[in-house]
């Protein structure tokens, strides 16, 4: 990827991101667009949407709950998410395809995706619909959630045998590279490079991070428990056929409530990949990709950049030898476990 000189964003005024309004205006969640209504009738055998109310909190989208009526008169509920612009359209498409792949692999793990599309009343507003799950507050079960993730990794095999995904998916506002790759090294390198660039555009140049990047390079809030079934659910998916251990990257940072205890619980059901002694190092590298994304999402807020800096220092200290020196003593083949 071609590197360019950029300046740090000055958009951040110190307001926490969770206190800012999404770019999608509130008015779009106060009525049911004809495109949403027609898809409900077409895809759900005559279901008629009656009303919509705001529901949930999202940093970059507007979300709501739709109350609908089936032909027999019983009520059903759906979750609606709205985004804006070309990137917003890609976000809704990517989430639909992600949730579809997850639901086809392990239906109990995610709400059922229904459709995605564009508002008839405003072609700049895009939507994603799925079944509504009333989620409990608090973390998922430490016993049940890791088991479900393991089941997903065991069943969710790439349809091409390669690593990547059929469409572009987004972490927050930031796109991932879906290109199919033959090896995990190529797939991960492409994606972490993209997130270095996202972070650079958001925060501006940093000499130390640039040097550490050159050395390294010669990634809980989206899970909950269904109140009705008591089964853990994943939502806001940005799927990717990848090395299964990459899933645990968000469980490593100290700021996460879903912490290392979930990693330990996962490993009771799914062993560490070889070489086992590099598990912590791999996890640190995957967490770096996750933290780069966090920094790239909040221009001007340097808290996450400082976390990225510490991650990179730790990796360089952990693996001081060059790639060529390391490669000479390797006997274990490439990590190619293409799991969702």
Sequence-separated (6 or more) residues with CB below 8 Å from residue 278: none
Euclidean distance between CA atoms 304 and 319, whole angstroms: 23
Q: Write down the number of H helices and E strands in the chain.
A: 9, 9
CB neighbour burial string for 204-217, b if at least 16 within 10 angstroms, e if fewer: bebeebeebbeebe
Euclidean distance between CA atoms 116 and 90, whole angstroms: 10
Its CATH architecture, for the domain 18-131, is 2-Layer Sandwich (3.30)
Whether residue 167 is preceded by a cis peptide bond, meaning omega within 30 degrees of 0, is no
Terminal Cα distance for the chain, rounded: 25
Q: Which fold has domain 144-328?
A: Aminoglycoside 3'-phosphotransferase; Chain: A, domain 2 (3.90.1200)
Q: Could you give the angle at the alpha carbon of 126 between the alpha carbons of 121 and 128, nearest 5°?
A: 120
Q: SS3 of 301, please?
A: coil
Euclidean distance between CA atoms 141 and 220, whole angstroms: 12
For 226-253, the pLDDT digits (tens) are 666 665 555 566 788 889 988 888 776 5
Please give the model's pTM, rounded to 2 decimal places: 0.81
1 alpha-carbon distance from chain centroid: 22
Contact between 192 and 288 (Cβ < 8 Å): yes
For 54-104, the pLDDT digits (tens) are 998 888 899 999 998 888 788 889 999 999 999 999 999 999 999 999 999
Euclidean distance between CA atoms 248 and 285, whole angstroms: 11
For 277-318, the pLDDT digits (tens) are 999 999 999 999 989 998 999 888 898 899 999 999 999 998
Domain map (residue ranges) of the chain: 18-131, 144-328
Name the residue among 90, 111, 104, 114 with its Cα closest to residue 42. Answer: 114
For 5-29, the pLDDT digits (tens) are 333 444 545 555 555 678 899 999 9
């Amino acid at each position: 990827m071609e590197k360019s000189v950029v300046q740090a964003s000055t958009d951040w005024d110190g307001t926490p991101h969770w206190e800012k309004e999404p770019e999608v205006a509130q008015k779009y969640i106060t009525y049911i667009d004809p495109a949403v209504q027609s898809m409900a009738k077409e895809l759900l055998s005559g279901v008629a949407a009656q009303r919509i109310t705001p529901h949930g909190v999202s940093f970059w989208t507007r979300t709501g709950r739709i109350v609908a009526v089936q032909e027999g008169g019983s009520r059903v509920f759906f979750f609606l998410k709205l985004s804006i612009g070309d990137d917003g359209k890609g976000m809704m498409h990517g989430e639909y395809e992600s949730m579809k792949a997850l639901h086809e692999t392990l239906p109990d793990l995610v709400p059922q995706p229904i459709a995605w599309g564009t508002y008839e009343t405003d072609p700049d507003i895009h939507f994603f619909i799925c079944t509504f799950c009333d989620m409990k507050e608090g973390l998922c079960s430490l016993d049940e959630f890791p088991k479900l993730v393991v089941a997903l990794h065991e069943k969710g095999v790439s349809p091409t045998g390669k690593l990547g995904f059929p469409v572009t998916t987004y972490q927050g506002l930031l796109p991932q590279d879906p290109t199919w790759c033959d090896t995990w090294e190529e797939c991960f390198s492409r994606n972490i490079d993209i997130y270095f660039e996202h972070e650079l555009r958001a925060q501006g140049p940093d000499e130390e991070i640039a040097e550490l990047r050159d050395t390294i390079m010669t990634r809980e809030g989206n899970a909950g428990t269904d109140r009705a079934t008591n089964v853990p659910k994943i939502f806001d998916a940005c799927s990717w056929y990848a090395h299964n251990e990459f899933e645990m990257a968000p469980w490593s940072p100290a700021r996460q409530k879903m912490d290392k205890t979930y990693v330990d619980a996962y490993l009771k059901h799914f062993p560490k990949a070889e070489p086992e002694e590099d598990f912590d190092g791999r996890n640190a590298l995957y967490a770096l990709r996750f933290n780069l994304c966090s920094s790239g999402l909040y221009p001007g807020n340097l808290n996450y950049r400082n976390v990225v800096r510490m991650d990179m220092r730790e990796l360089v200290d952990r693996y001081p030898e060059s790639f060529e020196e390391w490669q000479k003593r390797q006997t274990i083949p490439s990590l190619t476990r293409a799991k969702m």
